Amino acid sequence: MKEITRTPIVILNFKTYLESTGEKALKLAKISEEVANETGVNIAVVPQYTDLLRISNEVKIPVLAQHVDAVDAGGHTGSILLESVKMVGATGTLLNHSEHRMKLANIQKMVKRVADQEMVSVICTNNIETSVAAATLQPNFVAIEPPELIGSGIPVSQAEPEVVEGTVDAIHKINTKIGVLCGAGISTADDMQAALDLGSDGVLLASGIILAEDPKKALYNLVSKI
């Protein structure tokens, strides 16, 4: 498996921006790999399903799926099967992103199935309480992202530091091996450093890099203080 659990880690979610689709997705993945190689920071990318195979074949950094459905192989037209994303090179997956919420029972099912496939699970949460519930399911990472700050340019690590600190403390009371990521509004070196100073193991981000005028420069800047 491509190394993904080493921290600090930057997980770059491509979402469905045109700036991170198709050829541009591959270019962004290669930029991420270049920055990872030159800085030594662990960087993982999360492209759309249609780009997973090509990107996982052409870069050596970890590649995750944006979501998988709580279905088994069979008659589930239009669903995303965990085994299918693994077959095309994904080493893990996001679960319960604020833009693709899941029922608790389905999150629980998929965390177990992801672990059984020897893949990595990243459960996204929106507050301390849901982070605690997520941690009891024993994922590899919990990513705290207050939805009102996503894409706002206002970093949660500075706007709501008590949420990050509280999440870290609460999760580590359950299991110190669960990594905590900070998301929403992260885009600069100061944001990244603030997240680490609050006890997180890395960041989950998207638009701050993808929509930047120069994504490579923005990514270098993000990790420059680590």
For residues 85, 86, 92, 97, the Cα torsion angle rounded to the nearest 10 degrees is: 20
**In terms of C-beta density within 10 A (0-12 exposed, 13-18 middle, 19 or more buried), how is residue 143 classed?**
buried
- From 76, 97, 165, 172, active-site residue: 97
SS3 10: strand
End-to-end Cα, the chain, rounded Å: 25
- From 34, 67, 145, 172, active-site residue: 145
Pairing of strands 141-144, 9-13: unpaired
Q: Is 172 one of the catalytic residues?
A: no
Q: How far apart are CA 76 and CA 207, in angstroms?
A: 32
Q: Is 99 one of the catalytic residues?
A: no
State the catalytic residues: 97, 145
